[in-house]
A and B are shown apart, each in its own frame.
Chain A
Amino acid sequence: MSLGVVLLCALLYVGILFATAWRVDALAKQGKSRLMRNPYVYSLSLAVYCTAWTYYGSVGRASASGLSFLAIYLGPAIIAPLWYFLLRKMIVISKNQRINSIADFISARYGKSGHLATLVTIIALFGVIPYISIQLKAVSFSIDVLTEHQYPYFKPDAPLLADATFWVMLAMAVFTMLFGARKLDPNERHEGLIAAVAFESLVKLIAFWVVGLFVIYGLYNGLGDLFTQAAANPETARLFSLSGAGVSPTSWTMYMLLSALAIMLLPRQFHVAVVENTHPRQVNTAMWLFPLYLLLINFLVLPIALAGKMILGSSAPSDTYVLTLPIHEHLHILSLIVFIGGFSAATSMVIVSSTAISIMVSNHLVLPMLIRLKLIGQETTPRGASTLLDVRRVSILGVLMLALLFLKSIGGSYDLVSVGLISFTAVAQFAPSALFGMYWRRGTRKGAIAGLWIGFLIWAYCLPAAAIAEAGFLSQSFITDGPWGISSLRPYHLFGMEGMDNISHAAFWSLLLNTGAFLIVSLYTQPSALELTQANIFVNIHRYVAGEEYDVVKRAAKISDLHRVMGRFLDPSHVSAIFSNFEKENKIKLDQQKNAEPELINYAETQLAGIIGASSARLAIGSVAKEENITLEEVMQVLEQTREVLRYSKALEQKSSELETTTRQLIAANEQLKALDRLKADFITTVTHELRTPVTSIKALSKILLDYRAELPEEKLQSYLNILVSESERISRLINQVLDIEKIESGTDEYLPTEPFSLDEIVRTTAGGMAQLFRERSIEFTSNIPEETLEVAGNRDRIVQVVVNLLSNALKFCDAREGRVSLSLQKAGSEAVLRVADNGKGIPPEQHVHIFDKFTQLNSKTEGKPQGTGLGLYITRKIVEHHGGSIKVMSAVGAGATFEVRLPIYPSNT
């Protein structure tokens, strides 16, 4: 077959793709295309997962190690049921945050970090460029096989322009630039492109089944016949089982893990599954339809591989069996169909990958640089929209050129599956930060950066660096002995690990240390306020989807500035549409305001992020929006939001401590009440007891008088009557005192400072009145009262009572034989000090406080009960206190007692 025919077919096919994409884009522009909402189209577009690696490489791998290729498809199949919450959550987050690439996703999760976005983009570039290059290689060798029928097919030395691969690559680049970077859309939807990809998925599946059915029914009599013949030959029979084919369980497990992660994290998979998704509901269909697609495309791989091995053996490379079997039978039309199938598998991957990568490269590598260097987004620079598209287009071409260069330099020496798996291992490094980030709020930016760097470096060391050495660019001893002869650093046996294939080995170490670093660094670092907000949105996205996002980092900007910045990246009509949309959503009028609310700034940033990525948008908006310092209150709000558990436990703690305090107070109150109750009971007991004693004697004496009145001598009668009188007086005194206490305690007594009166006069009069009593008991009484007038205000009679109480107290308690009582009144500053001293037996210091309480009498066994009611001093203290004064006693046992009363002098002008 001539090269012309093959290229014509390829061009025709690309023409069909162009037509499809064009038509769908045109329909979409008119809003007529419902294709994107179709879940079957969505599921088919996911099948971009099946590349030339699947189409040609699986057969190659199956002819060497049986069903081991299945691990790459079982991984996605096993994880597909989990998409119901995993992928759907990813989609909801991405739509809410206008995320348009995996780099954006990870960067947005960790506080819109530019560092992370760049790092993820670089890892993706390293992983994806070789991957694209093997697609080009597959196309290149299929053309060579078709045109020359000879091997080896690969000619790295051919000049660029004479190489068909270059022209094929250029055609793909043109297609991608046209449909992958046609317009700037904040939703980053490419209807035409997706339609073409879905179409290609059908083409490759049908082509593969055509060749499969031809092999089974054209070359054999059905599947049974094929397997029976294969079973007869030990060389092919050993491929029936994994153990027979020499596949280790570790590799099987590792490949399943890698593919399960890659199905969501590969840039092109993220693009079709998340970015191009129009509704999370589409995932429901994809959950079973996509695994079904994988099952169908893999079902005939083993039969084809066995047939190729039996018919062609080693006369053709096993990677080309799909194509060489029809050629061997001289079926040109069939071989062309196979070629188109493989071509479609390769082109769909290249188109979507380069679109996805170009978004990342332009948004996370080129744009931040241009913004920082002030080459874009300034007054003097041309408007951003066209520049942005140019950057995209150049990125697409650049990525494809790099892939071709890679192929020309070292890629040729590798088989399809190995390079694909190296890519898988690279993108699997995104797993800890991306997946943990959706469910674990504690993950921090520093943790993500540490994990990604460590994983990336180990990957680079164990796989590409070793591959470079194998390709002859480094000494072979780097692989066999390790660098500088350190055997524990051998790239295929890191730390002396044996018994794993190269990919599993690299995947194991890089993922283990990546995850470990991510977790440990996250636990030991503190997230910033913005990180906390973003983490909260990612983890609790379902709380935010309906409601509005709350802003933590408060920003302020003029609306006109916001307009200006957005205008540098977007069409003016687009900008006005965004602002009017915001007005409609929030029901406000922006032209009445001058300064933009934080909500508007956020809205603008999110909209801009849809086009230039989260970190670039933050940079651009940051040029006009000033960040206000977060208030303590707001920080508290964040803390509350993010640490509800802590709050709840704190609240609980507070409640319990409040409860404890209340309990303590209640216990104290209860004690007080009990003491009061006891006191009251004591009071009543004492009062009744005090009353009963005189009543008893009055009763007895009255009875005597009644019965023996006539027989009693006159003096006896007299004394009895005297006793009766004094006992009655005692009762009335007691009652008066109780009433006094009642009055004083209930506060009904009048103590308002009425007319001032002279204290010295009262004291002099009272002392004079009492002097007779002292003389009667032959007690020496001295008084020292100054001439000057000391005026106090209050209740005159109560003050008299105080003086009487103190003097009669001294009278009672002074020494029985040589009693001495002295009274003194003097002025001390603004107070009048009254002292009454006796020479009695004194009061022990521990009683100095108690004697002023109710019914406190100093009882002592030897001296019996003293006279009095025990209420006098209590009443005295109360009266003094009500007059704003104080009373105290100075005494020692055996040295008498001195009572001191201090009363405030009535303010006078003199």
Chain B
Amino acid sequence: MSNSLTPRLLLLSAIALLLFEYPLLSLADKNALLGELPLLYVYSFSVWLLLIVLTALLIRRKKDRIP
């Protein structure tokens, strides 16, 4: 279970925490619209989706390497 995946996932988790935590979150936490949608709404869900996609990619890649 210990391979290069663990530090990568740790880093991913740390970056996600940073992006969803103050003070960085305050950059998106404004009563503004991005197009027609609220800025914070767009920010939270797109960062969240990105986190999911990256996690999935990391895990999938590992599957390819180890049959």
A residues whose Cβ falls under 8 Å from a Cβ of B: 66-67, 70, 74, 77-82, 84-85, 88-89, 223-225, 227-228, 231, 237-238, 240-244, 249, 252-253, 256, 284-285, 287-288, 291-292, 295, 299, 302, 542
Contacts and interface: CB of A to CB of B under 8 A. Distances in A.
A224 B37 contact: yes
Contact of A227 (B20, B33, B53): B33
Given A242-B25, A295-B48, 7 more contacts: A82-B10, A228-B36, A241-B30, A249-B22, A252-B21, A252-B25, A284-B59
B44 A67 contact: yes
Contacts of A84: 1, 5-6, 9, 59
Contact of A223 (B12, B22, B29, B36): B36
Contacts, number: 113
Nearest to B38: A240
Contacts of B45: 295, 299
Nearest to A239: B38
Interface of B is mostly: helix
Contacts of B2: 85
B55 A241 contact: no
Given A78-B16, A227-B37, A291-B51, A238 B31 contact: yes
15 contacts: A66-B40, A78-B16, A78-B17, A84-B1, A227-B41, A241-B29, A243-B26, A243-B30, A249-B22, A252-B21, A252-B22, A256-B21, A287-B59, A291-B55, A299-B45
B9 A81 contact: yes
A78 B59 CA distance: 16
Contacts of A89: 1
Interface of B: 1-2, 5-6, 9-10, 12-13, 16-17, 20-22, 25-26, 29-33, 35-41, 44-45, 48-49, 51-53, 55-56, 58-59, 62-63
Interface of A is mostly: helix
Interface centre among B33, B38, B59 (most CB of A within 10 A): B38
A370 to B, nearest CB: 40
B55 A80 contact: yes
Nearest to B22: A249
A253 B22 contact: yes
A125 to B, nearest CB: 32
B40 A241 contact: yes
A89 B41 CA distance: 35
Nearest to B5: A84
Contact of B29 (A78, A243, A288, A302): A243
Contacts of A82: 9-10, 13
Nearest to B48: A295
B22 to A, nearest CB: 4
B29 to A, nearest CB: 5
Given A82-B10, A284-B63, A295-B48, A240 B39 contact: yes
Nearest to A226: B36
Contacts of A74: 20, 44, 48
A325 B56 CA distance: 36
Contacts of B33: 227-228, 231, 240
Contacts of B22: 249, 252-253
Given A74-B20, A252-B22, A244 B55 contact: no
Contacts of A292: 52
Nearest to A70: B44
Contact of A542 (B1, B20, B35): B1
A80 B29 CA distance: 24
A228 B38 CA distance: 9
Contacts of A256: 20-21
Given A241-B30, A241-B31, A256-B20, A302 B6 contact: no
Contacts of B31: 237-238, 240-241, 243-244
B55 A287 contact: yes
User: Top 3 closest A-B pairs, CB basis?
Assistant: A224-B36, A288-B56, A240-B38
A244 B38 CA distance: 12
A752 to B, nearest CB: 74
Contacts of A291: 48, 51-52, 55
A507 to B, nearest CB: 16
A267 B47 CA distance: 30
A472 B62 CA distance: 57
A84 B63 CA distance: 13
Nearest to A230: B38
Nearest to A66: B40
A253 B24 CA distance: 13
Interface centre among A70, A89, A241, A256 (most CB of B within 10 A): A241
Contact of A81 (B12, B21, B63): B12
Given A253-B22, A292-B52, A78 B13 contact: yes
Contacts of B55: 80-81, 287-288, 291
A77 B52 CA distance: 8
Given A82-B10, A242-B29, A542-B1, A302 B41 contact: yes
Contacts of A78: 13, 16-17, 20, 51
B40 A67 contact: yes
A243 B33 CA distance: 15
